[in-house]
Chain A
Amino acid sequence: MASVATSTAGPGPRERARRWFSGFRERETWTAYAFLLPWVFGFVFLTAGPMVASAYLSFTNYGVEQIAGFSPTETVGTEHYRQLVHDEKIRLALRNTFTFTVMMVPATMIVALALAMILVRIGRAAGIFRTIFYIPQITPPVAAAILLLVLFNGQVGIVNRGLELLGIQGPFWTTDPSWIKPSLVILSVWSVGGTMVIYLAALHGVPRQLYEAAAIDGASQWRRFRDVTLPMISPALFFTFIILTLSGLTNFTEVYTAYFGAGSTGAEAPDAALMYAVYLFRQQFEFFNMGYGSAMAWLLFGIAMVITLVQVTVSRRFVFYQGGQK
C-alpha cells in the first residue's frame, strides 16, 4: 500500500512548541500528565538515571571502596573499553550469546506462529489449548531452569528417555558444550505463550475477505499463508523479532540459575553457558568491577542498538502496515 505523500512541509519547531504548550490550557492535559507521573518518575529515576550514571561509571575506577566512600571515584579514561577488546571471556560470552539468540529467535517465532495458527483453526476448544500453551509462560524462570536440569539430564532425564523409546541415543544436554545452548533454546521455546498470544491476536485481525478472494483466485494454502497471512501479520512478527532478539542478547535468569547460581550443580559451569549478561553480572556483583561492568553494559547496549537499527531498516521492505505505511 502506498504511503500518503504530503505536499507541504509540517509545522516548524516553534509552531510545534506553541501547540504543545497550548495544550496545558486544557484540564485534561494536566490530568493526563498526572496519570503519567508515576511512570515518568520510574523512568527518570529507575531507568534513565542509572543509565546516565553507568555511562559515567564506565570511565571510572568505581568499586567497593568508592561505593562505601572510602576512596574517591577517579576517572580512568577509556581503560575499561580497551580492556573489553583484550578480555578473552568477552569474546566467548558474545559468541555464546549470539549463537543462542540466532537459534532462539527463529525457533520461538516459528513454534509460536504454528501454535497460533492451530488455535485459530480449532474453534471452540481454542480457549483450553490457549491456556495450556500459555502456562509455561507463567512458570517462574528459576523453576524452569531447575526443570531444565532435571528434564534434560543426559542419563535419567525424561527427554532422553523419550528419545530412547524412539531408538535415539539422546545427547548429554546439560553437560556437553555442544548441546548446552540448544537445550537452553528448547527451554525458551517451551515458554512461547506470550509470543503466541501476540500472533493469535494478529491472525484474528486478518480480514476474512482476503482469504476468500485468494481462494476464488485459486491460491493454494501455502500461497494464502505466504501472500496473505504473513504480510498481514508482519507488524506483529517484526515486533516479536525485535523483542525476542533483545531478550536473547540479555538472556540471564534461566542460564544463571541452571549453571551458575543456587540451582546449579556446583562449580562445574561450562564455558558454553557463559552468556554476556551472566559475565556482566559476575564482573559487577561477584568481582566488584563496577566500572568495567558498566563498560560491558554499554557495549551490549551499543550492539543491541546496532542490531535493532538494522532490523528496523530491513523491516521497511518487509513489514506491511494496514494504516498505509510500509
Chain B
Amino acid sequence: MSGRWIRLAALAGTVALSIASMAGLASARSDATTGTSPTGRAVASRTLNIYGMGGRDDVAQGRLDFAGDALGSSVEVSNPVGGFNDQAFLARLAAGDVPDLVYISRNSVGTYAAKNAFLPLASCIRSQSIDTKQYRAAALSEVRYKGQIYALPEFTNQITMLVNQDVAKAAGVAVADIQTTNWKKLRQANKKLLKVEDGKLTRIGFDPKIPEFFPLWVKWFGKDLISKDGLKAQLNSREAVAALAYTVSLINDHGGWNRFKAFRDTFDFFGRGNPFARNQIAAMPFESFIYNVFADNSPQIDLVAKYFTNRKGGPITLFSGSGWAIPRGSKDPDLACQFMKAMTSVEAWKKVGKARFDLRKRQGRAFTGLYTANTKADVAVYEDIYQPIGKKGFDDAVALLVRAPRYGFAIPLSPASAEFRQAWIDGINRVLNGQQSPRQALDQAQREAQTAIDKAK
C-alpha cells in the first residue's frame, strides 16, 4: 500500500473514530433519558420524566408500579436509574432538559426553592385535593419556604436512642440512667460505660453523634439553630454553645476526639459485626432505619429503644428524609403532581408494606415496619400489617417509632441550606479538633451562615 493510501486510511479512521465517539455520546444521552417504563407499557401518549429516584428495592418499585397504574395506561413513566445529583441536575437545567419531577433529599429543597428552580405546590395540592394533614407537620416544615410548600415528603428518618443492654449490665449502669434529660447523670453513665484497654479505646460509652445530631442537643433547651422562616441563623446562642460544650465533653471523656473517631471509623454499622453486636458501643442516638438493619442481620442484640428527651423529660426527635418536587420548566406538572400524590399515598404505602411483610415472612426475616412522612400510612402499616417479631427489644422499638413522629421537629428550610449546614458542621469540627472554643467556633459559624443566607434570600 502506498504512503498516500496509508495516510488516507489513517485520516478516515480518525474521522470515523470522532464521529463514532460523538454518536456514542448522543446515544448514551438518549439511553439515559428515556429509560423504560416500570409498567412496561408499549403505547403511551404522554411521558413523565422522573429524575433522582435511584433505588429499585421492593418498596420503591412497588410504589412506582402503583403510581404508574394511577396515571393510566396512556402514560409512560421514564425513570432512569441513579440518585439525585446536583451537578447532573444543573446540567439538565442548562440544557433545557428539565425533568418533570425530581426525588430529592428534603434538606436540599430550600436551596432550589429559594432560587426559583422548583414550583410551589399550592395549585397542585388544590387541583389534586391532596390532604396535607396526612403528612407529618415537621416533615412539611422541611419543605416549606416563605409559606409555600415546595415538595411532598416521602420517607422519614427519626432519631431515637439505642441502648445496648448487655453492655449496660456489664458496666453496672441502669438503663434508666442512660437518658438525655439529666446531663450530669448521663455523663456519669458515659464514664462508666466506656472502656479503655492497654491505652486503646475498646468501647464507646455514649456517642452524642455530633456534628450531625447537634440540632437535637440544642432542641434539648427548646431552641433551634435557625429561625422558623429560615432567614436568621441562631448558631451562637447561649444554648447552642452550652450544648456543644457538653457533647464535646462526652467525647473527651473517651480520651479526645482523635481516639474516639479513630475507633468509631472502624465500625461497620450495617453488617453482622456491627458495634452493637460486638459490644463496642453502649448507647447512642441513631436514625430509625437501623432497627430494620439490626433485626435483619443481628436479631440477637439485647437492645432497648428509648426516646431522646429534652431538659423537661419530654421526647424529641429530629426528622430528615426525602421528598418529591416539581422543577420549574417541567413539561407536565399536572402529571407530576398526580404521580407524587400516588407515591406518597396511604394506599401505596400499605400495598408495599404488605408486599414486604409477605416477602420477609417467606424469607424468614423480620419486618419492622415502614417509616414514612405520612402519619396515616405509618399507623395503617403498623396496625394492619405489622406483626410482633417476638424479640422484645425490637417489638418495643417499633412501637416507640410509631409514636415518635408526634415529637418530631425538623430544621426549617433556608435559602442557603447547604452553606448553613456546612457552617455549623465546620464549627463543631473545629471544636472537636481542639482548634477553637465552642463560643469562638459558633461565632464564626454564625457569621458564615448568616452571610450565606443574606446573599441567597
Name A residues whose Cβ lies closer than 8 Å to a Cβ of B: 31, 34-35, 37-38, 41, 63-65, 67-71, 88-89, 149, 153-156, 172, 174-177, 265-272, 282, 285-288
Contact = CB atoms under 8 A, between A and B. Distances in A.
Contacts of B201: 155
Interface in B94-128: 94, 96, 98, 111-112, 115-117
Contact of A268 (B93, B432, B452): B432
B433 A270 contact: yes
B418 A286 contact: yes
Interface string B76-96: 000000000011001001101
Given A271-B433, A286-B86, A153 B328 contact: no
Given A149-B265, A155-B263, A287-B416, 8 more contacts: A34-B14, A35-B11, A64-B93, A64-B112, A65-B117, A88-B444, A175-B265, A265-B261
Interface in B170-222: 200-201, 211-212
Interface in B241-268: 257-259, 261-266
Nearest to B258: A172
B94 A67 contact: yes
Nearest to B199: A169
Contact of B7 (A31, A89, A265, A269): A31
Contact of B262 (A154, A287, A288): A154
Contacts of A64: 90, 93, 111-112, 115, 117
A288 B261 contact: no
Nearest first, the 5 A-B pairs at minimum CB distance are: A154-B262, A172-B258, A68-B93, A64-B115, A155-B262
Q: What size tier do the contact residues of chain B reach?
A: 35 or more
B262 A175 contact: yes
Contact of A271 (B17, B200, B435): B435
Interface string B304-331: 0000000000000000000000001100
B433 A155 contact: no
Interface of B: 7, 10-11, 14, 17-18, 86-87, 90, 93-94, 96, 98, 111-112, 115-117, 200-201, 211-212, 257-259, 261-266, 328-329, 416, 418-419, 422, 425-426, 429-430, 432-433, 435, 444, 448, 452
A269 to B, nearest CB: 7
Contacts of A155: 200-201, 259, 262-263, 266
Given A35-B11, A176-B258, A270-B429, A68 B265 contact: no
A265 B444 CA distance: 24
Given A155-B259, A175-B257, A31 B11 contact: yes
A271 B10 CA distance: 52
Given A31-B11, A38-B18, A155-B200, A269 B429 contact: yes
A19 B414 CA distance: 63
Contact of A265 (B93, B94, B265, B419): B265
B331 to A, nearest CB: 14
A252 to B, nearest CB: 14
Contact of A272 (B94, B96, B259, B433): B433
Nearest to A32: B7
A68 B329 contact: yes
Query: What's the dominant secondary structure at chain B's contact region?
Result: helix
Contacts of B425: 267, 269
Contacts of B17: 38
Contacts of A31: 7, 11
Contacts of A67: 90, 93-94
Contacts of B115: 63-65, 70, 288
A287 B433 contact: no
B265 A172 contact: no
A68 B452 contact: no
A89 B427 CA distance: 12
Contacts of B426: 269, 271
B175 to A, nearest CB: 27
Contacts of A38: 14, 17-18
B261 A287 contact: no
B354 to A, nearest CB: 34
24 contacts: A34-B14, A38-B17, A63-B115, A65-B117, A68-B98, A68-B328, A68-B329, A71-B116, A88-B444, A88-B448, A149-B265, A153-B262, A153-B265, A155-B262, A156-B262, A172-B259, A172-B262, A175-B265, A175-B433, A267-B211, A268-B211, A268-B429, A269-B429, A288-B115
Which of A34, A68, A71, A265 has the largest number of chain B CB atoms within 10 A? A68
A266 B428 CA distance: 13
Which of A70, A174, A287 has the largest number of chain B CB atoms within 10 A? A287
B14 A35 contact: yes
Contacts of A34: 11, 14
B6 to A, nearest CB: 11
B416 to A, nearest CB: 7
B258 A175 contact: yes
A271 B262 contact: no
A189 B434 CA distance: 29
Contacts of A266: 212
A10 to B, nearest CB: 32
A177 B258 CA distance: 9
Contacts of A287: 416, 418-419, 422, 452
Contacts of B111: 64, 288
A270 B264 CA distance: 16
Contacts of A89: 448
A234 B148 CA distance: 66
A3 to B, nearest CB: 37
A285 B416 contact: no
A60 to B, nearest CB: 14
